[in-house]
């Protein structure tokens, strides 16, 4: 009793189906049938119990790598975050709530979630193929990085791009409806919009809104560093719009919150409660759900494609 293998506190080392089969006096096939509740196979309750008992006795846990080798599904969903070298804290913070929500949703759907940061300069999408991801969500991709994808990723993998700057109709996208948001904000407050601040994550929005509101480019700031904020705000005379609540918060240092409306793109609108006189505009909280929908219709109608290639999240009114 000392030559035996060292056991851990849970008792056994690492049981496989073979071990269970042995213990329950059946074949591995039977074990598989029982453990997976295979329909079409009719197992007598007696045997079933024997197998089940053996399994829990041995503390059996299936090896998902082996499983996914044979089924052609890994059970893994990927969240790939494209990150630039000089990512700022408010940009990082803006992704987190979505990642969080997405992970939660996927986990509750039974997927295991792989999270991976990809260098915007050289996004290595190999993980999709290596891990045989069943579904992929890409955050913050830009046209450029997407060329890589379209060249290399295996087709048939449902891929949804979120908050991504791409035109390519090949990709399915989920994004905020910035135009509607801006119009809603302006109309609601009955004020003009004389300037616009956006983080780089919403650079497309900045372009759209600049056009929509016919703003001179000097009144538009795509924030790269925190220092740019004060001088820009200082020379504004009118009211304006700020995208990203973290940026909105920073701005409060240099300008009265009553002078701008924050369009909440960072998933943390609660933040603004600390600015009493501020006004903010929220979007429907369903970016993750929309992405999921898109993914699921992509799985089902992979031949025809889902009804619409792009989902716009609407602002709350």
Binding site for its own copies (CB under 8 A): 8-10, 14, 59, 61-66, 68-69, 74, 76, 79, 83, 89-90, 92-93, 96-97, 99-100, 103-104, 107, 112-117, 126-127, 129-132, 150-156, 226, 246, 249-250, 252-253, 268, 270-271, 273-274, 276
Kindly state the smallest distance separating residue 213's Cβ from its own copies, in Å.
Answer: 26
Cβ atoms within 10 Å of 315's Cβ, excluding its own: 21
Cβ atoms within 10 Å of 133's Cβ, excluding its own: 28
Residue span 7-46 as binding mask against DNA, x where in contact by CB under 7 A, dash where not: -------x-xxx------xxxxxx-xx-xx-x--xxxx--
Kindly state the smallest distance separating residue 62's Cβ from its own copies, in Å.
Answer: 6
- On whether the CB atoms of residues 291 and 312 are closer than 8 A, the answer is no
Nearer to its own copies, 211 or 231 (CB): 231
Q: Out of DNA, its own copies, none, which partner does residue 96 contact, by CB within 5 to 8 A per kind?
A: its own copies
Rounded CA separation 74/64 (Å): 8
Kindly state the smallest distance separating residue 186's Cβ from DNA, in Å.
Answer: 55
Burial level of 130, CB count in 10 A (0-12/13-18/19+)? exposed
Kindly state the smallest distance separating residue 188's Cβ from its own copies, in Å.
Answer: 23
Number of residues that bind DNA (CB under 7 A): 27
| By CB under 7 A, residue 115 contacts DNA | no
Q: How many CA atoms lie within 13 A of 216 on its CB side?
A: 4
Nearer to DNA, 47 or 117 (CB): 47
Nearer to DNA, 48 or 84 (CB): 48
Q: Out of its own copies, DNA, none, which partner does residue 32 contact, by CB within 5 to 8 A per kind?
A: DNA
Q: Out of DNA, its own copies, none, which partner does residue 129 contact, by CB within 5 to 8 A per kind?
A: its own copies
DSSP state of 283: B
| Sequence-distant (≥ 6) Cβ neighbours of residue 106 within 8 angstroms | 77, 113, 135, 292
Nearer to DNA, 46 or 227 (CB): 46
Kindly state the smallest distance separating residue 50's Cβ from DNA, in Å.
Answer: 9
Cβ atoms within 10 Å of 86's Cβ, excluding its own: 10
Q: Out of DNA, its own copies, none, which partner does residue 17 contact, by CB within 5 to 8 A per kind?
A: DNA
Rounded CA separation 232/95 (Å): 25
Rounded CA separation 98/227 (Å): 27
| Sequence-distant (≥ 6) Cβ neighbours of residue 58 within 8 angstroms | 12, 15, 19, 20, 23
| By CB under 7 A, residue 47 contacts DNA | yes
- On whether the CB atoms of residues 196 and 210 are closer than 8 A, the answer is yes
- On whether the CB atoms of residues 80 and 118 are closer than 8 A, the answer is yes
Q: Out of DNA, its own copies, none, which partner does residue 28 contact, by CB within 5 to 8 A per kind?
A: DNA
Contacts with DNA, residue ranges (CB under 7 A): 14, 16-18, 25-30, 32-33, 35-36, 38, 41-44, 47, 62-63, 66-67, 69-71
């Amino acid at each position: 009793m000392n030559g035996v293998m060292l056991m851990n506190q849970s008792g056994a080392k690492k049981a496989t189906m073979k071990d269970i089969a042995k213990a329950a006096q059946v074949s591995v096939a039977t074990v598989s049938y029982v453990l997976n509740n295979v329909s079409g196979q009719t197992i007598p309750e007696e045997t079933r119990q024997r197998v089940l008992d053996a399994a829990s006795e041995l503390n059996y846990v299936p090896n998902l790598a082996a499983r996914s080798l044979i089924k052609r599904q890994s059970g893994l969903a990927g969240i790939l975050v494209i990150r630039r070298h000089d990512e700022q804290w408010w940009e990082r913070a803006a992704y987190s709530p979505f990642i969080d929500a997405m992970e939660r949703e996927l986990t509750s759907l039974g997927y295991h979630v792989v999270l991976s940061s990809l260098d915007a300069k050289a996004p290595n999408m190999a993980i999709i193929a290596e891990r045989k991801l069943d579904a992929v969500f890409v955050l913050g991709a830009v046209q450029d990085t997407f060329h890589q994808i379209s060249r290399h990723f295996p087709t048939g993998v449902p891929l949804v791009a979120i908050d991504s700057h791409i035109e390519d109709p090949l990709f399915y996208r989920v994004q905020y409806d910035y135009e509607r948001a801006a119009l809603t904000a302006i109309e609601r407050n009955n004020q003009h919009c004389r300037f616009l601040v956006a983080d780089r994550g919403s650079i497309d929005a900045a372009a759209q809104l600049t056009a929509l509101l016919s703003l001179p480019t000097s009144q538009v700031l795509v924030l790269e560093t925190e220092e740019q904020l004060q001088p820009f705000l200082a020379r504004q005379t009118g009211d304006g719009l700020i995208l990203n609540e973290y940026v909105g918060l920073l701005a409060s240092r240099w300008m009265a919150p009553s002078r701008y409306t924050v369009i909440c793109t960072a998933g943390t609108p609660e933040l603004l409660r600390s600015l009493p006189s501020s006004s903010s505009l929220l979007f429907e909280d369903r970016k993750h759900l929309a992405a999921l929908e898109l993914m699921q219709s992509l799985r089902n109608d992979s031949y025809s494609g889902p009804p619409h290639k792009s989902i716009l999240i609407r602002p709350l009114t």
